[in-house]
Chain A
Amino acid sequence: MQDLGIQVLFQGRNFIRLWEGLWVTLRIAVISMAFSVLLGFFLGMVMTMHNRAVRCITRLYLETVRILPQLVLLFLVYFGAAKHLGINMSGETAAIIVFTFWGTAEMGDLVRGALIATPRHQYESAGGLGMNTLQTYFYVIIPQTIRRLLPPAVNLLTRMIKTTSLVVLIGVVEVVKVGKQIIDASRYQTPTAALWIYGVIFIMYFIVCYPFSRLSLWLEKKYEI
């Protein structure tokens, strides 16, 4: 029995702790994603402008986010803000800020693509019906772009869920860290626990990510024209 690594899972509160860790993971990813979708829509609209300066700034923002590793951003926000600005925020807040910063850029680019892909006559017809720009966006363009946006947005969310494993470096204990703690605590009694615990974490990630991709598939079908 000593060699059966799976038993570690049922010692004490280990299994519950893993789920609690998963909840932290999910909370960070979903809150960040909600902000990213909201801000990303505005960014996407701004990005379609023909103004040179605006294009330059948004391009710079997007490229910065893509080039900088998320880990560097996490350190900058968590430790940098405390050292240089005197703002002492919790690890989770820092994580949400960084993931929103990242998600907004990615989401903005997706929205921009979807807006550009919307045929020009849609804008013109809305104008012809006497709608102003805001009305055109909210009643005509955005409903059409949502359908186009669903698959890449869900893809971004699942990427975010998986990237949250980095937040352990700024002291947030999420599911992978809980796993490492469990493996380490049982290092002497059950050296084979690692494989089992990582296996369980793999299944947990699947349980979380799979419904999101099913949901997007369903919504895609629902909004199909």
Chain B
Amino acid sequence: MKKKLLGVILTAGLLAGVLAGCGQTKEAASTAAPATEETAPAAESAAEPAESQDASASAQARSLEDIKADGKLVIGVFSDKNPFGYVDANGDVQGYDVYFAKRLALDLFGSEDAVEFVYVEAASRVEYLKSAKVDIILANFTVTDERSEQVDFALPYMKVALGVVSPESNLITDVEQLKEKTLIVVKGTTAETYFQENYPEINLLKFDEYQEAYDALADGRGDAFSTDNTEVLAWALQNKGFAVGIESIGNLDTIAPAVQKGNTELLNWINEEIESLAAEQFFHKDFEETLKPVYGDSVDADSLVVEGGIVD
């Protein structure tokens, strides 16, 4: 009997602890809410329609005023995608996206260091915005229709297309040269679908992994290899005897900053930033600093960089 009693007491204690814990957090949340309302009525009203449209819950993102009051931007970047977002040997985050993030902090607060970087993974980028863990995502985020339903994209600052790499001795510079020849692609990539749909007369040799595909090209099992242009450009630099004959083909995808859906004020500010930075050709400078050391002179900045959000 006594053992039973002890069990009941323990269970009750556990339950009480859980309930008390819940109560405390609720209290904290309710006291925090009015504070944000006071400081940012404009953003609250802007965010509301978006929330009612989207059934899935989102935490309230910080408005531009909230961010200004806090004195720090919180930006989600990649930490292992060299040269767009990576951590150098000293533990400092670097790259094309990071360079832009620092500039945003500089223009908002007058200091490049007024930014807190959160290291995100490709799969959780949308969640970070929805749960308001970050203000902006600057992680090589390709604009797609599907993603646009979940987050708000600002103007693009980069573009990617497909590239075709081939041996210098037999360089493919025009897609017409590929007819009746063998093109290597990796399964599941945009290159596979693009060539299948638009150029059925090209023989495709498909592989599961990038390494296999590159090996096949080096062995001469195919005449050329196609995937994202940033990828083939970097590879061609490391491998003597190969060059990227076609730097940009296929559907042009753009890469843009993203904010939580409905955070219009912040979105507009980023857009204004991107537009005004065009005057000083900021993203060309970004390219020189971060991408050029990797891609060298083989890449024309204009094939990757977008200034002022204008894609031609």
- The 6 A-B residue pairs whose C-beta atoms are closest, nearest first, are A12-B89, A82-B131, A49-B7, A184-B80, A86-B29, A11-B89
B103 CB to nearest chain A CB (Å): 22
Q: Mark A62-87, 1 if CB is under 8 A from B, else 0.
A: 00000000000001001110111111
Q: Mark B123-148, 1 if CB is under 8 A from A, else 0.
A: 11001101111000000000000000
A169 touches B124 (CB 8 A): yes
Q: How many residues of A contact B (CB 8 A)?
A: 44
Q: Which residue of B lies closest to A9 (CB)?
A: B89
B10 near A: Cβ within 8 Å?
A: yes
B residues near A183, Cβ cutoff 8 Å: 80
A84 touches B80 (CB 8 A): no
B154 CB to nearest chain A CB (Å): 22
B234 near A: Cβ within 8 Å?
A: yes
A45 touches B80 (CB 8 A): no
Name B's A-contacting residues (CB within 8 A).
2-8, 10-11, 14, 25-26, 28-29, 32-33, 56-60, 79-82, 86-91, 118-121, 123-124, 127-128, 130-133, 234, 237-238, 294
B294 CB to nearest chain A CB (Å): 6
A149 near B: Cβ within 8 Å?
A: no
A143 near B: Cβ within 8 Å?
A: no
- Can you identify 9 A-B contacts, CB atoms within 8 angstroms? A42-B10, A51-B7, A86-B29, A88-B59, A169-B121, A170-B124, A181-B87, A185-B87, A187-B82
- Which of B11, B28, B57, B128 has the most A CB atoms < 10 Å from its CB? B11
A214 near B: Cβ within 8 Å?
A: no
A36 CB to nearest chain B CB (Å): 14
Q: Which residue of B lies closest to A20 (CB)?
A: B91
B59 touches A83 (CB 8 A): yes
Q: Which among B25, B60, B120, B133 is the interface contact of A85 at CB below 8 angstroms?
A: B25
- Which of A11, A181, A191 has the most B CB atoms < 10 Å from its CB? A181
Are A85 and B29 CB-contacts (below 8 A) given A13-B90, A173-B119, A181-B79?
yes
Q: Which residue of A lies closest to B93 (CB)?
A: A181
Name A's B-contacting residues (CB within 8 A).
11-14, 17, 42, 45-46, 48-51, 54, 75, 78-80, 82-88, 132-134, 137, 168-171, 173, 177, 180-188, 191
When chains A and B are docked, how far (Å) is the Cα of A182 from the Cα of B90?
10
When chains A and B are docked, how far (Å) is the Cα of A214 from the Cα of B132?
44
B5 CB to nearest chain A CB (Å): 7
A residues near B11, Cβ cutoff 8 Å: 46, 54
B250 CB to nearest chain A CB (Å): 25
A72 CB to nearest chain B CB (Å): 13
B29 touches A42 (CB 8 A): no
When chains A and B are docked, how far (Å) is the Cα of A49 from the Cα of B29?
37
Are A88 and B133 CB-contacts (below 8 A) given A132-B2, A184-B81?
yes
B7 touches A45 (CB 8 A): yes
Q: Which among A84, A171, A185, A187 is the interface contact of B120 at CB below 8 angstroms?
A: A171
B residues near A51, Cβ cutoff 8 Å: 4, 7-8
- Which of A12, A46, A86, A169 has the most B CB atoms < 10 Å from its CB? A86
B89 touches A83 (CB 8 A): no
B2 touches A133 (CB 8 A): yes
B21 CB to nearest chain A CB (Å): 11
A residues near B6, Cβ cutoff 8 Å: 45, 133-134, 137
A residues near B120, Cβ cutoff 8 Å: 171
B residues near A137, Cβ cutoff 8 Å: 6
A185 CB to nearest chain B CB (Å): 5
Q: Which residue of A lies closest to B15 (CB)?
A: A57
B residues near A85, Cβ cutoff 8 Å: 25-26, 29
A133 touches B127 (CB 8 A): no
When chains A and B are docked, how far (Å) is the Cα of A128 from the Cα of B60?
61
When chains A and B are docked, how far (Å) is the Cα of A187 from the Cα of B237?
13
B residues near A83, Cβ cutoff 8 Å: 56-59, 130-131
B78 CB to nearest chain A CB (Å): 9
When chains A and B are docked, how far (Å) is the Cα of A182 from the Cα of B79?
10
When chains A and B are docked, how far (Å) is the Cα of A148 from the Cα of B25?
38
A46 touches B3 (CB 8 A): no
Are A173 and B79 CB-contacts (below 8 A) given A12-B90, A82-B59, A133-B5?
yes
Q: Which residue of B lies closest to A47 (CB)?
A: B7
B121 touches A168 (CB 8 A): yes
